[in-house]
Structure 1
């Protein structure tokens, strides 16, 4: 025990955050795996739908988090204080509007996705405003590089969601999808811990200089646009499979997606570290490409390892993680891992350019996200077709990102 404490003390804040992200991702995976095993494929399909909605929400709210992180590095003193208060205001308004829409359209959503209950969408909608407030709080910690506090917010959310959901499932006899929704919504409140109250002035009216306001608006709109492409690329397949296929097949595919996306969730850790570092390097006029190279190498190595493992031992992986009920999906595991790996690597490039105010990669991602949806619409006779269409779209996306990066380097050297 003393050795573990000694090792932790030697880690810097960034290394502790990386360790924390691994723990949080592990906890989230455990949460999904337990639900898959406890509920079985058919009931897990609804739980996976809620988890997908949670991922969609996280991408939307990430617009506020990344914007807050970027400008927490750039702004200081009174401008920073005004920016934080204005961001909290608009994030809360956005959360309330989306929450109301989720509640109002709960019945149509139930019909669209073949869900067992509309109440799970109502409960989820109630928690949405809190999630947006939580995201701004995280953005402040991310931008100021207070990774210890940032790590705690993620841990609080993950641990509470896991504990509350399991307790509800084993103690209350309600429909499982409703209990999962309650656990998710409740975890948003715990995700506010620790909440940074400094600089928040609810009763004071705040404003920003015209130049800063214009810069923020431009970055925010482009980031929102990119996060929309993330939603399309990362979640459209699960939503479309839930729509096109029977509940049992949708549950099998959800388990496939969960295992295959492990590389993406780990890659997100590097995105969190990448953005403030690149912004700071650019601000100081220093070289920032080496940071990108380092993280791309890490993700590529991780991706290759996961794909190889999924190719060599697909049935073992499925059996260990979800059980024998899901074993029929095993042959698709390594193919889905390839699609996710291609997306994770291209995503690192996209966020790198986004932090440098280079927006062409954002447009490229949007076009490929739309093409992925179109491909699945036309080719969805089997789950295998759905996976192959994603590999095609993501391979093209990564190719475009690489060509843009090479062109950017050449222009930078000439300048």
Structure 2
């Protein structure tokens, strides 16, 4: 019995999801710890209203950067095969093909923030226009850095990705602390996000120098139609995913007074600890499944293991939130004002747990090129937006709407997975029967 347990343990530790992604898992975890410390410091040292400004601007930057981030699956899918063949010229051609439209989008975003800074500030009740401009520059630069990030994932450079993420988040924490103590308040925190966001792109560009010096030849031509056919629906799916975890914060900032918006942002921070701890799993799973599928190897066990790794700790943390909400808030954000809505913390835990599982399913479908998954995801995001817009009588109403929408989406994705899994098993069975007939059985 002991030997069997030892064998199973060794088999688990040697699984590709663990061994192949150990660096990015540890690195992302450490980076998320620094992110957590950054948020905790800001939650304790900024005013409630100031923290509300920080949370809403971070959500805004995240939403604007979604179309850029959604290109990462496309880059991983197309560049990964070229890296495997050491065809660096094609990798360079792909990068050049993608960066041109991204530069145009970056300039448009920056121009919009400059022109409409006053209107954006009025909508979010942020009256310092310099904050809006910092957000605009940060969002514009995100469209350039996403290429570096995608290429590093495609090359499976997990160790380097972990290193750059740690350096970036460590810098954000250090710069943020210094600027807040110097009296820059919420603006200092946003400056820290801007400065630290540039660091991974710079060191990543240097690391990929061998790609930039490669020659592009006729064999390196990239079919842009294939990129669009995958990139557009995957972008929409990613847009919907980010909206599901950001729309509530943005609308609460708009419809509620600054104090309530800040309290909601604080509770959301505590709830998102679940996502901070489990998010690296999806980042590791995606390129591994892409690699498996490219080699026509089985990949469902990787997905099932990823779901288990995310689900089990998330359930325990959510249960703790239900049982000890005040203790959780006091431990994470030492501000008594947040305890006025502590009864909502358990619901936040379930909300983030559901979102974490949805993220895995969406990554899974995109990794096997089932891009139609964008339809239910986008529908859910729009439903959440409309329902909160029309029904926002209390913070409880907002979180309940978000949770119900996500539970419905998760149910749809599970049904879709069962359907696809059944089709794959039937196809495998037919292949085995055909093979047996060919050899005379």
TM-score, normalising length from structure 2?
0.86
**Paired residue for 1:61, among 68, 74, 77?**
68
User: More deviation in 387-396 or 82-91?
Assistant: 82-91
Distance 2:214 2:249 in 1: 40
Report the CA distance between 1:274 and its aligned residue: 1.4
Any idea what SS the aligned residue of 2:297 has? coil
**Paired residue for 1:20, among 14, 27, 33?**
27
For structure 1, list consecutive stretches of 5 or more residues without a partner in the other structure. Answer: 1-10
Partner of 1:117: 128
TM-score, normalising length from structure 1?
0.91
Deviations 1:168-221 (A, max 9, x none): 1212x44x23222222211122222243233226998999646x3222111111
Report the CA distance between 1:158 and its aligned residue: 0.9
Distance 1:203 1:133 in 2: 22
Partner of 1:102: 113
Note if contact 1:260-1:336 (Cα within 8 Å) is conserved in structure 2. yes
Distance 1:91 1:198 in 2: 22
Q: CA 1:13 to 1:204, structure 2 compared with 1: closer, same or farther past 3 Å?
A: closer
Partner of 2:10: none
Q: Does 1:391 align with 2:403?
A: yes
Q: Does 1:190 align with 2:199?
A: yes
Note if contact 2:92-2:214 (Cα within 8 Å) is conserved in structure 1. no
Distance 1:93 1:158 in 2: 28
Q: Does 1:169 align with 2:176?
A: no
**Paired residue for 2:226, among 187, 193, 215?**
215
**Paired residue for 1:90, among 55, 80, 101?**
101
Report the CA distance between 1:109 and its aligned residue: 0.8
Q: Does 1:71 align with 2:78?
A: yes
User: More deviation in 237-246 or 146-155?
Assistant: 146-155
Q: Does 1:410 align with 2:419?
A: no
Any idea what SS the aligned residue of 2:308 has? helix
* Paired residues for 1:5-404 under 5 Å: 14-75=21-82, 76=85, 77=87, 78-171=89-182, 173-174=183-184, 176-192=185-201, 193-195=203-205, 196-200=208-212, 209=221, 212-323=223-334, 324-404=336-416
What is the root-mean-square deviation of aligned Cα atoms in Å?
A: 2.2
Q: CA 1:102 to 1:71, structure 2 compared with 1: closer, same or farther past 3 Å?
A: same
Q: How many matched pairs?
A: 402
Note if contact 2:271-2:348 (Cα within 8 Å) is conserved in structure 1. yes
Note if contact 2:351-2:406 (Cα within 8 Å) is conserved in structure 1. yes
Distance 1:143 1:369 in 2: 28
Q: Mark the structure with the bigger radius of gyration.
A: 2
User: More deviation in 257-266 or 306-315?
Assistant: 257-266
Q: CA 1:228 to 1:74, structure 2 compared with 1: closer, same or farther past 3 Å?
A: same
Report the CA distance between 1:385 and its aligned residue: 0.6
Report the CA distance between 1:36 and its aligned residue: 1.1
Any idea what SS the aligned residue of 2:313 has? helix
Deviations 1:298-341 (A, max 9, x none): 11102101111101110011111112231112110010111111
For structure 2, list consecutive stretches of 5 or more residues without a partner in the other structure. Answer: 1-17, 428-441
Report the CA distance between 1:260 and its aligned residue: 1.0
Note if contact 1:42-1:248 (Cα within 8 Å) is conserved in structure 2. yes
Any idea what SS the aligned residue of 1:191 has? helix
Report the CA distance between 1:93 and its aligned residue: 3.0
Any idea what SS the aligned residue of 2:212 has? coil
Report the CA distance between 1:13 and its aligned residue: 6.2
Report the CA distance between 1:22 and its aligned residue: 0.9
